[in-house]
Structure 1
Amino acid sequence: MTVLYWVLAFVVLQRLAELAWASRNTRRLLARGAQEHGARHYPLFVLLHASWLIAIALTVPADTTPNWPLLGLFALLQLGRVWVIATLGPYWTTRIITLEGAPLVRHGPFRFLRHPNYWVVTAEIACLPLAFGAWPVAVIWSLLNAALLRHRIRIEETALQTRAGLP
């Protein structure tokens, strides 16, 4: 197997594990009375991420030598993902779920950035295809991601405004 396929396999397995974890957290939060916001756009994110990986697999020759510094940056971004997920703990999901009375997280990466997971994902969507020379994939999926995030962040900000503790 080539570096490309090892990396893609890692990302697919990582995303599947994250979806399982997020689904578990979502079920638990909803059982506690949480509310989901913006559910209608969620399938578009699943489609975006799946098509991004498929586009990389289909457009990059298997034997492409990666740009190692960019691949290293992608690896560092995975640490950012883990930091966000660990910081949010049982509140981390891939959906917009709010639980009235739950504290807003203001530690970990949230001390430095608003929506740090979106920053990580935005960088990943550009970085991974660029690491294999697939700049059209990086550009197209970055633009699609930006459009979806613009909509999602608006919904999330509105949902969070109703929560206690927001300035």
Structure 2
Amino acid sequence: MKAYFDHHVVSGVLFGATLVVWMASELRQGRKTRTEAQKTDRQSFAVARICVGAAWLVTALTSSALPATTIHGGGITFGVGLAICWMGIALRWWAFRTLGRFFTFKVMTSADQPVIRTGPYRVLRHPSYTGAEVAFLGMAVMYGNWIGVAALAVLPMVGFANRIRVEEAALNATLGDAYRAFAAGRKRMIPFVW
């Protein structure tokens, strides 16, 4: 069964506009760099991109190929997915804004970097990854396929878990006790869980 947005004009426009706005903001943010910072990415960005790309491929291929895994509900399901997606995008944008110049796509640290404890960082260590994951899940619901939901729930988390490991090692090495104290009071991505 085709995705709902494939045969309903308004939902197709909303899906496309959401994707364009989100990707444009990601491209804009991705151009930012910090010349004073040490790059300690260890290819974690590439691994995360591969995991996300694989999840999108599974989602796109299974949305029409496996009708037995369709999420029923039509416009209601699409609307729920759209709302979930925008909540994730909004959280990600909030994280971008809160970190300001310290937010980069490649893991970079510097000794003068403060530990940010405001905005979404009051609750989570990595709210931008949480926002991306929530947005991915919303997109999967808009596609209307349970396999897509599973793929976009699991595969990006593999990339994010690796990236968090690299990022936290770099932050611990550079910021020391200040970062460890910050981390001790917050979960990584999911409040009260992980």
TM-score exceeds 0.5: yes
Structure 2: distance between partners of 1:91 and 1:102 = 7
Equivalent residues in 2 for 1:32-71, closer than 5 Å: 32=36, 34-53=37-56, 55-60=58-63, 65=75, 67=77, 68-71=79-82
With normalisation by structure 2, the TM-score equals: 0.70
Aligned-pair CA distance for 1:84: 0.7
1:10 paired residue number:
18
Q: 2:171 aligns with which of 156, 160, 166?
A: 160
CA contact (8 A) 2:39 2:108 kept: yes
Q: CA offsets, 1:101-120, max 9 Å, x none? A: 21111100000111111111
2:123 paired residue number:
112
Q: 2:139 aligns with which of 120, 128, 131?
A: 128
Structure 2: distance between partners of 1:50 and 1:5 = 22
Residue ranges of structure 2 left out of the alignment (5+ in a row): 1-8, 65-73, 182-194
Aligned-pair CA distance for 1:79: 1.5
Q: CA offsets, 1:109-158, max 9 Å, x none? A: 00011111111122222222123312211212321112112211111111
1:80 paired residue number:
91
With normalisation by structure 1, the TM-score equals: 0.80
* AA partner of residue 116 (structure 2): V
Aligned-pair CA distance for 1:47: 3.3
> How many corresponding residue pairs?
160
Q: 1:98 aligns with which of 98, 103, 109?
A: 109
* AA partner of residue 23 (structure 2): R
* AA partner of residue 141 (structure 2): L
1:22 paired residue number:
30
Q: 127-136 or 80-89, which moves further after superposition?
A: 127-136
Aligned-pair CA distance for 1:73: 2.1
Aligned-pair CA distance for 1:100: 1.6
Q: 2-11 or 144-153, which moves further after superposition?
A: 2-11
Structure 2: distance between partners of 1:105 and 1:76 = 22
Alpha-carbon RMSD: 2.4
Residue ranges of structure 1 left out of the alignment (5+ in a row): none
1:142 aligns with 2:153: yes
Query: Structure 1 pair 4/99, CA: closer, same or farther in 2 (3 Å)?
Result: farther
Aligned-pair CA distance for 1:14: 2.3
Structure 1: distance between partners of 2:43 and 2:87 = 32
Structure 2: distance between partners of 1:161 and 1:126 = 30
CA contact (8 A) 1:19 1:94 kept: no
Query: Structure 1 pair 132/123, CA: closer, same or farther in 2 (3 Å)?
Result: same
